[in-house]
Structures are given as structure tokens and as C-alpha cells.
Structure 1
Amino acid sequence: MIFEAKDLKVYYKTKKGFVRAVDGINLSIEKGETVGLVGESGCGKSTFGQAILKILPPATFYGGSLKIENTELIGLNENEMRKIRGKKIGMIFQDPMTSLNPVMKVEKLFFETLKTHEPEITEEASRERTARVLEKVGIEPERMKEYSFQFSGGMRQRVMIALALVLNPILVIADEPTTSLDVIVQAQIMNLLNELRREYDMSLILITHDLGVVAEMADKICVMYAGHIVEEAVSEKLYYSPKHPYTELLLKSIPNTNIDDLDLKYIPGSPPDLLRPPVGCRFAPRCPYKKKICEVKEPPIFNVDGTKVKCWLYGGVKEW
């Protein structure tokens, strides 16, 4: 196991109180494993990814434990975290246009990244490393002399992937890496990520709201709702035998191309206010199977046929 989160809490401080964006997450990742993190907007997916790198605003509360190769991250200061970012944990952000400095040539972006972790590296050695990694992602080395704004959206995302891989990290977090791209380029980027993951033998956290994207890539999928992981299972099991009502409804909401079933399905209601989340199960107000206990007591994690599910349906509670 190369990564572990135990009872991780990430709260944003506001004038009205704390927003419980991530509220008690447990997750472990093995070497070479791809984990898909899915859920509606605002469920805490991106907060979880950024919390691992500790790049959230200063007025943020952290609780629990975050470990990379048995190194505890929660207590590390900024200087110590800089040694971890890039070297052990890489990040591919949603929008490469706002993540890449438009006034710096691509080779300079790579040189600064390499120089931070390898102070003795020369510009010539940096250019050689940059050329190799750019070739891996399908970009001609000559283009390192250009600025990021001279690249198309798909090419900018390839540069972001190369930047994340240049230091050969053991874990890469891809935060909705294909959001701003068209469908054809999305498929190319996801295939590229999958190939590079195998080649570099790295672990990958794939954060997305697109269930179709994680279906082919992820070894296991974690479904997030209102700051909690409500279901964790291997990909095939989650798709063909979902256990949590939210997962079931989420899968049903995917448009169906079957001519006999063209009705669009949706989940009634809205996610809860994380300033004042429900006392019991956070999905209870929208759940078609809720029991009385769901409204008064938060469910623990139950292990059902190898699936971890946070739902009272599997707690042996009789009253409905």
C-alpha cells in the first residue's frame, strides 16, 4: 500500500461556520492501482484531491490522517510539502489554460519543476528530460520552445500530464483531466493516461463526474456524496451490482441509447447544505428506501459481498 487516508476531515472556515467538504474519508491505494472517485458537483471530490497535496486555502481545517509511503502529510509544513509535491505526488488539474504560466515557455516550466527537486540539474539535462517526457505524451520536442497558449486544448493537457510525470511520482491525481475537451480528444487523453500508468507503474486517482470514463480505467470506484464515500467496490461489481441507493440512482441517470427506454431519469431533490448537514444519513432526504433510523443516526460502513457501503439497508435494522 502506497497511500492511505484515515478518517480524513477537510473543513472550510466561513463566516457562518465550517463547511464539511470532506468528512471522515477512509481510502487505501496499492502500487499501480487506479481508483476512480465519482459523484455530483460539490460532493468533495476535488477537495479530497487537493487536500492530499495541501494546496487548499489557509483557512482550512484538516483532521485524521494522510500517508504516502508511511509518511504522514497532515503535520508537514510548507517546505516539507514542497519536497513531496511533484516528486512523490503529481497533479493534473482540470483546466490546463489556467494552470500553465502563459508567459513562460514550456521548457522553462519543466526546468523550474526539475530544479526545485534536483538543484544540481543543468539546463541541458533538463531539456533532455523534457524532450523524453514530451515524446511520451505525443508532443514533438521542438515545441518546448513555445508558450502554452500556442497549444490546442488537448496538447495543453498533454503538457500537464508530462509535467506531472517528469519526476516519476508514485501517485498521480487527475482532477477531471478531460472536462474542457471534446469527446475524441477525451478518449485520446484517457488512453494516454492508462498507457503511461502501466509504463511508469504508478498509482492513479481519477476524479470525475463521468461514470463512463472510470468504467474502463479504474480498478475500483469510490462513490462520494456530501463529503462521504458511500460506496467502494471493484469497477465491474459497482456497475452491475450497486449497493448504495445513491449509486443505483446515479447509474440510472446515465442516458440510455436503448430505443425501448428513452425516458431521462434523475435524482429528485438537492445535495444537503454542508454547513448544516443532516443528523443521520446525508442521502436520506432523497432516498427512496429510507428508514426511520436513516434520519436520526449516521450509518457505519458495512461490508457486503466485498463492497464497502455506508447504508442502513445492510445493517439488519427491521423498521422501515
Structure 2
Amino acid sequence: MIFEAKDLKIYYRTKKGFVKAVDRISLTVKKGETVGLVGESGCGKSTLGQGLLKILPPKTFYGGSMKIEGEELISFSENKMREIRGKKIGMIFQDPMTSLNPIMRIEKLFYETLKTHEPEITEEEARERTAKVLEKVGIEPERMQEYSFQFSGGMRQRVMIALALVLNPILVIADEPTTSLDVIVQAQIMELLNELRQEYEMSMILITHDLGVVAEMADKICVMYAGQIVEEAINEKIYYEPKHPYTKLLLKSIPNTNIDDLELNYIPGSPPDLLKPPRGCRFAPRCPYKMEICETQEPKTFAVDNTHVKCWLYSEVKK
């Protein structure tokens, strides 16, 4: 197992209390596997991705366990985490314009990244490594002398992908890598990511709210709601046999291109306040199938037809 999280908690400290952005989740990623993390905005996807690298605000609380190749990240100091970031876990951020330093040439960005983890590397060796990885993502090596603001949105995202891959990490976290791009460029970036994942034999956590994106790339999909994983299954199971009411409604809300069915579906209500989440099921206030137990007791995770689902509707199935 490349990565494993168990009973993981990532809470933000505020004056009013803890915001339970990620609350007691368990997640595994195998070698070469792509895990899709989907859900509405504010459900904790990006917090989880950044939390795995421990790059959240200093007072953030971490609990439970998260391991990379058996090493426990929760107990690591900041200096130890710097060795992990980039070298073992790479990150592709959703907004390359604010993630790339606009006053540094592309070559310098790569050189600093390589020098941090490989102090003995020379400028010439770093330049060669940079040229090779830029070619992999479709950027001419000559452009490494330019600044990030001289690139288009799609090209900047390619630079971000190259930066994440230059140290050949075993796990890459792609946090909404196509959010700010148009549809054509989105398709190109996702195809590129898929090709590079196979070539480098790396594992990936793909964070997105776009169910169409994970349909093409993910081997396994985890559906998040209000800081928890409510359903986990292989790609086909999620799309053709969804179990959790939230997953069903999420899929139903995808716009239909069939001209005979122009009705737009949505999920009524809003996600709960994670300062004071509901006592029972967090989706109960919006769920059309809720029962009395849903409002008083938090559901357990039940195994149903190779799907793990956090819902009381399946309590009898387990029995």
C-alpha cells in the first residue's frame, strides 16, 4: 500500500471552536492506482489533499493516522515534512497563476525544487532534468527562460504538472487541476495526466467536483460530504449502482444533453455547518429517504456489493 489514512481528523481551530473539515475518514491508495475524490464545494476535499502534505495553517489539528509507505506523517516535524513534499508526495494546485512565483524564471523554479531535495545537483544537471520533464508535458525547453505570466492558463498548468513530476514522487495529489481551464484544454490536461501516471507508474489522488473527469481517470471513487466519505467503490459501481442517497442525487444533478429531458435537477438545502455538524447523519436534513434513526445516530459504514456506504438504509443488508 502506497498511502493509508485511518480515522483521520483535520480540524481548523477558530475562536468559536473546531471546524471539522475532515472528520474520521479512512482511505487507501495502491501503487499505480488513481483515487477520485468528489463532492460539493466545502465538503473537505482540498483540506484533505493539503492536509496530507501538512501545508494548512499552523494551528490546524491533526488526529488519527496517515502513512506514506508505512511512515506516519502525523508525527513528522516541519523539517521532516519538507523531505516528503515533492520527493514522495507531489502536488498539482488548482490555480497555477497564484502557485507559481511570477518574478522567477521557470528554470529557477525547477532548480530550487531540485536543489532542496538534491543539494549536490549542479545547475547544468538541473537544467537537463527540467528540459526533459518540460518536453514530457509538451513545453519546448527554450521556454524555461520565460516567466509564468508569459504562459497561457493551460501552459501554466502543464508547468505545474512538470514541477510535481520532476522529483518522480510515488504519489501525486491533483487538486482540481482543470478548474480554471476551458473544456478543450481540460481534456488535453486530463489526457496528459493519465499518460504521465502510466509512464511514471505513480499513484494519484484526483480531487474534483466534476464527475465527468473522474469517470475517465479514476480506478476507485470516494464521495465526500460534510468532511466524511459517505461512499467508496470502484468506478463502475459508483456510476451504475450508486448506493448513498447523496451519490444518487449528485449523479442526477449532472446536466442531461438529451433534448427530450431538459429538466435541471439539484439537491435542495445546503451542507451543514461543520462547527456544529448534525448529531446523526450529516446528510439527513437534505435526504429524501431519511428515517428517525438518521436524525439521532450517526450511521456506520456498511459493506454492500463491494461498496462501502455510510447510510442506515443498508443496516439490514449487513445483518
Say yes or no: TM over 0.5: yes
For residues 200-250 of structure 1, what are the alpha-carbon distances to aligned partners after superposition, in whole Å with 9 as ceiling and x for unaligned? 000000000000000010001000000000000101110001000000000
Counterpart for residue 146 of structure 1: 146
Counterpart for residue 52 of structure 2: 52
Amino acid at match of 1:161: I
Distance 2:71 2:194 in 1: 27
Amino acid at match of 1:236: E
Distance 1:124 1:258 in 2: 56
TM-superposed CA distance for 1:49, in Å, is 0.2
Distance 1:41 1:238 in 2: 19
Counterpart for residue 108 of structure 1: 108
Q: Which runs of 5+ in 2 are unaligned?
A: none
**Residues 24-39 of structure 1: pairs in structure 2 closer than 5 A:** 24-39=24-39
The question of 1:306 aligning with 2:301 is answered no
Distance 1:269 1:145 in 2: 50
Provide the identity percentage.
83
TM-superposed CA distance for 1:5, in Å, is 0.3
Distance 1:130 1:314 in 2: 52
Counterpart for residue 134 of structure 2: 134
TM-superposed CA distance for 1:59, in Å, is 1.6
Task: Kindly report the root-mean-square deviation, in angstroms, between the aligned alpha carbons of the 2 structures.
Answer: 0.7
Amino acid at match of 1:201: E
Distance 2:117 2:199 in 1: 22
Distance 1:142 1:30 in 2: 37
TM-superposed CA distance for 1:257, in Å, is 1.1
Counterpart for residue 167 of structure 2: 167
The question of 1:229 aligning with 2:204 is answered no
Counterpart for residue 120 of structure 1: 120
Counterpart for residue 210 of structure 2: 210
TM-superposed CA distance for 1:17, in Å, is 0.7
Amino acid at match of 2:67: K
Amino acid at match of 2:107: E
Give the SS at the match of 1:275: coil
Give the SS at the match of 1:5: strand
For residues 138-179 of structure 1, what are the alpha-carbon distances to aligned partners after superposition, in whole Å with 9 as ceiling and x for unaligned? 000000000111000000000000000000000000000000
Amino acid at match of 1:232: E
Counterpart for residue 278 of structure 1: 278
**Residues 232-251 of structure 1: pairs in structure 2 closer than 5 A:** 232-251=232-251
Counterpart for residue 256 of structure 1: 256
TM-superposed CA distance for 1:316, in Å, is 1.8
Give the SS at the match of 2:35: strand
Distance 2:257 2:185 in 1: 22
Give the SS at the match of 1:12: strand
The question of 1:91 aligning with 2:82 is answered no
Counterpart for residue 67 of structure 2: 67
TM-superposed CA distance for 1:261, in Å, is 1.4
Distance 1:261 1:223 in 2: 26
Counterpart for residue 182 of structure 1: 182
For residues 19-68 of structure 1, what are the alpha-carbon distances to aligned partners after superposition, in whole Å with 9 as ceiling and x for unaligned? 00000110001000000000000000000000000000012110000100
Amino acid at match of 1:209: H
In the superposition, the TM-score normalised over structure 1's length comes to 0.98
Give the SS at the match of 1:155: helix
Distance 1:153 1:37 in 2: 23
Amino acid at match of 2:95: D
For residues 82-111 of structure 1, what are the alpha-carbon distances to aligned partners after superposition, in whole Å with 9 as ceiling and x for unaligned? 000000000000100000000000000000
TM-superposed CA distance for 1:259, in Å, is 2.0
* Structure 1 consecutive aligned stretches of length 4 or more whose deviation exceeds 6 Å: none
For residues 250-308 of structure 1, what are the alpha-carbon distances to aligned partners after superposition, in whole Å with 9 as ceiling and x for unaligned? 00000011122110000011100000000000000000001100000001110000000
Amino acid at match of 2:128: E
Amino acid at match of 1:251: L
Give the SS at the match of 2:52: helix
Distance 2:107 2:269 in 1: 49
Amino acid at match of 1:199: E
Distance 2:11 2:78 in 1: 19
Q: Which runs of 5+ in 1 are unaligned?
A: none
Counterpart for residue 43 of structure 1: 43
Give the SS at the match of 1:86: coil
